[in-house]
Amino acid sequence: MTSYKELGLVNTKEMFAKAVKGGYAIPAYNFNNMEQMQAIVQACVETKSPVILQVSSGARKYANKNLLKNMARGAVEYAHELGYDIPIVLHLDHGDTFELCKDCIESGFSSVMIDGSHLSYEENVALTKKVCDYAHSQKDYVTVEGELGVLAGVEDDVSAEESHYTKPEEVQDFVKKTGVDSLAISIGTSHGRQKFKPSQCTRSADGILIPPPLAFDVLAEIEKKLPGFPIVLHGSSSVPIEYVKEIEKYGGKLDDSVGIPEEQLRKAAKSAVCKINIDSDGRLAMTAAIRKVFAEQPSEFDPRKYLGPARDELKKLYSHKNKEVLGSAGQA
């Protein structure tokens, strides 16, 4: 059993309280490898931003759970070495079983998500409560994120227009019965690079897809029911058209890509939304940089020569997010 405090990590409690009060959101960036971790820490130290390092169950399978745990410890030391100690959370993204959450808590995670959004309301309550009871009874309190409502895309086999928004009338009861520390909601975001079907969008003069707005009315209703309670937005990549074009210029094919416009995320961050999850944009940034090297320098075969530029592009992207979108820069 490793406590997250031994790794130099913090839970989300104080971080979220400050973010809700301050009208900004904490970045939750996924990582699977060293270059992603370096980029996240470099960007967050330079912008003086608190950060949530997110690990999915897929990341644990890909990279090995002990390596990831020790990379999180390394992240704390790396930030210190770079000259500024920022608060760092190690969070399980989309935990789907009690056992997985327990395993993560025992290996040093300071926060877990239990995603029971596919279950019936009663089953979701029961599973989320079980995880909260365990996480909160640890010597060092581990925070828990629950989810109500279903995002379209990878979370479900429903199409985007069938996305099930969170029902504001359920949120108070869910929070009370489970004891969750934060709540992920569905207001129109979804995972991946195709967040809406072209038929749901309009097009700009140059053919770029313009998505429909998020359901800010649903968010406002939820805030009214849970004043000051930390709300989480998944599926919040903006899918920058520059990266899509760059990838396609160098041989990729990413038809009908569309994300959540930055202005809408900025608006959400000023509300009770205090954690914004971003993974796909980082994948696009790295892929664009790597494809460019492969196309322009066909004889290059040193991984550092393409993973290095990918890392630099990722750092640039995350600095931009912290400063211009989430408002977390300067808050550490």
Q: Which of 92, 83, 86, 55 is nearest to 71 (CA)?
A: 55
Rg (alpha carbons) of the chain, rounded to whole number: 19
Q: Is position 281 an interface residue for ligand G3H (rule: CB under 6 A)?
A: no
Binding mask 28-67 for ligand G3H (x = CB under 6 A): --x-------------------------x-xx--------
The site partner of 236 among Zn ion, ligand G3H, ligand 13P, none (C-beta below 5 to 8 Å per kind) is ligand 13P
- Measured CA to CA, the distance from residue 122 to residue 15 in angstroms comes to 30
Does 234 sit near ligand 13P (CB under 6 A)? yes
- Check binding of 235 to ligand 13P (CB under 6 A): yes
Nearer to ligand 13P, 150 or 278 (CB): 278
Residue 156: Cβ-neighbour burial (10 angstroms; 0-12, 13-18, 19+):
middle
Task: Answer yes or no whether residue 236 interacts with ligand 13P by CB under 6 A.
Answer: yes
Which residue minimizes CB distance to Zn ion?
A: 234
Distance (Å, whole) CA 51 – CA 25: 10
Total number of residues binding Zn ion (CB under 5 A)?
A: 2
Question: Contact region for Zn ion (CB under 5 A) — 2-10, 81-89, 201-209, 274-282?
Answer: 274-282
Give yes or no: 93 in active site.
Answer: yes
Cα 131 from Cα 129, distance rounded (Å)? 5
Site for Zn ion in 204-243 (CB under 5 A): 234
Report the distance separating Cα 326 and Cα 262, nearest Å: 9
Q: Does 275 bind Zn ion (CB under 5 A)?
A: no
Q: Provide the binding-site residues for ligand 13P, judged by CB under 6 A.
A: 30, 93-94, 191-192, 234-237, 277-281
Active site members: 93
Q: Provide the binding-site residues for ligand G3H, judged by CB under 6 A.
A: 30, 56, 58-59, 93-94, 191, 279
